A and B are shown apart, each in its own frame.
Chain A
């Protein structure tokens, strides 16, 4: 915490940009955790069901892509926040 206080004292014109860059990095990193786990579950379960019932593979694949698309949206919103923080 002391280091943070010292850093905060050394004000310079770039500080807002630096903070925005740090925030942007954290925004994307944190936003990627949940969807990463989620997509892992979706694909893992889909492969499991395809292996159990190969004749249902087509339907499972369609539903899997839908699930991935919905889960992935969260990570992509994190990416947009990253772009907005970093460049806007």
Chain B
């Protein structure tokens, strides 16, 4: 498609990758690599001698586990939720590695910019927090605590209960998936836009236009740095929302 004589590729060209072999394309490959990288970090960290001061990859592993324990689990679920740390650490690293491929040269595609991975992860989180709620409160009690928040006048429950039901059981997984997906898709399209602008200005036929390429180029560099921040932040937000949902299902409001 052409905007002001600038050739902007179709969105399908930017997001749909050809199959490497049947039903397995680059996005699926990035997903597999993200799983392997997550496993590899903790295997490598585990091999080091625990009596020496931690170095390298063990530092990363220890810092991230400590961060997730103190800043996510303790703040949202509480001390009895520390058993959820491995689950949350896995989610954090998997989402982060799926995101960070957005800015890694030759990959240049966040796996989470296709709906499959965010939707599956949101479904897993939905199943987990509902199971936790049913296990800790019982099915009907969990349903009652989710739909009827305490401290509301009786007449208002006719209004509040359906809203709470829809927001807890339908909107939550939907918004969890959309948030991750749309953030990474927006970042990917922004990078593509400024890369195309830079390229079009460098190869412009008019000599006067050529020096202007520095403007979109610096924007591209800045946005690449910004996307590192977004990758970490989205992984963090996905993890902390998972923890908040698990905490809410575990400790109903009184």
Contact = CB atoms under 8 A, between A and B. Distances in A.
Contact of B178 (A59, A65, A76): A76
B251 to A, nearest CB: 16
Contacts of B10: 87
B75 A59 contact: yes
Contact of A69 (B71, B76, B179): B179
Interface stretch (A5-13, A36-44, A46-54, A77-85): A77-85
B11 A83 contact: yes
A62 B240 contact: yes
B244 interface: yes
Residue in A59, A62, A68 with the greatest tally of chain B CB atoms within 10 Å:
A62
A76 B113 CA distance: 13
Bin chain A's interface residue count.
10 to 19
A72 B176 CA distance: 11
B185 A83 contact: yes
Residue with the greatest number of chain A CB neighbours at <10 A, chosen from B12, B181, B183, B233? B183
B192 interface: no
Nearest to A73: B175
A6 B179 CA distance: 41
Interface string B230-242: 0001001100110
B182 interface: yes
Contacts of A70: 175
Contacts, number: 46
Contacts of B76: 62
B178 A72 contact: no
B67 to A, nearest CB: 11
Nearest to B76: A62
A65 B182 contact: no
Contacts of A76: 178-179, 182-183, 186
Contacts of B71: 58, 62
A22 interface: no
A9 B62 CA distance: 67
Nearest to A69: B237
A87 B15 CA distance: 12
Contacts of A79: 182, 185-186
Contact of B11 (A65, A68, A87): A87
A73 B75 contact: no
A30 interface: no
B244 A66 contact: yes
Nearest to B72: A62
A87 B185 CA distance: 14
Given A59-B75, A73-B175, A65 B183 contact: no
Given A73-B178, A76-B182, A65 B244 contact: no
Nearest to A59: B75
Contacts of A83: 11, 185
Interface of A: 58-59, 62, 65-66, 68-70, 72-73, 76-77, 79-80, 83, 86-87
Closest 8 CB pairs of A and B: A76-B182, A87-B11, A69-B237, A73-B175, A62-B75, A79-B182, A80-B182, A73-B179
